[in-house]
Structure 1
Amino acid sequence: MTTVLVLNASYERLHYVSLPHAVRMLVRQVAVVEEAADGRPLGPWPRPKVVRLLRYVAMRWRYRSGPSWSRRALLARDQHVCAYCGGRASTVDHVMPRSRGGGDTWLNTVAACARCNHRKRDRTPSEAGMPLRVRPYAPGWEQVLGS
């Protein structure tokens, strides 16, 4: 399914929504198409790639806490670079394996290529002899939404 970027009325990035959700926003006339994608139009609108809200939305939720963890946001934080070898990353690795109580948190996960992730398995980086090239950290909203 295609995702569509939603901009605030002030052109700030808000979040991504599914294509059907974006079409519903257009039907309700709460957004307009800012950038169209190639393909067949959807009724009277071109296929949206980016939509902009017509009214400004106060983003208090964004300033209360940082973004929640997700696979997509983690790969964006690490810029799809493997934390072990520096190659192209497509998987998520848990520094402290889930089998040992490690969870899906910003400080316990890094992006990894499939080869390094398979090699490390359910061991810590020191046990596997694979030191981390970067230190995990909790990103800000700008970094997560920049993808």
Structure 2
Amino acid sequence: MSDAESRPPFPPFTLDTAVQKVQAAEDAWNTRDPEKVSLAYTPDSQWRNRGEHVVGRDQIVAFLTRKWQRELDYSLRKCLWDFHDNRIAVRFQYECHDDSGQWYRSYGNELWEFSPSGLMARREASINDVLIDESERRHFGPRPAAEHGQDIPLW
């Protein structure tokens, strides 16, 4: 199996490897590089993101390209919620602003299912958006390494 066809750690997950997988996803998404992010998913990965159904890496790249063109200065935090065998549940928050300067904080939960090669084959995301003032921001770029594994506030 080549590096392009696999992404350690591999299932079944332990607490340590599930935390590693969540942090790796957070780190990748904070690059805002759709091509790089898409490589963590199987070529036929299926997503449900809000009301949208996305299938395969090409659609993932297109989806993320659109997302980060409108969600400016995007900054994400993910926390492990639970895990079992080849599945991980996370809760997350991200902040961004639109081209008018309005800031948002988005709260959500994701359910992930992984192939034996450690690539994500399925992602289901439920997300709620809240208007915030710029002064209410709490996420500024990628999470510093000293904060890895720390929880994020509920509200």
**Pair in the same fold by TM > 0.5:** no
Using structure 2 for the length normalisation, give the TM-score. Answer: 0.27
Using structure 1 for the length normalisation, give the TM-score. Answer: 0.27
Compare the two structures and name the one with the higher strand fraction. 2
Higher gyration radius (CA): 1
Greater RCO, 1 or 2 (C-alpha within 8 Å, sep 6+): 2
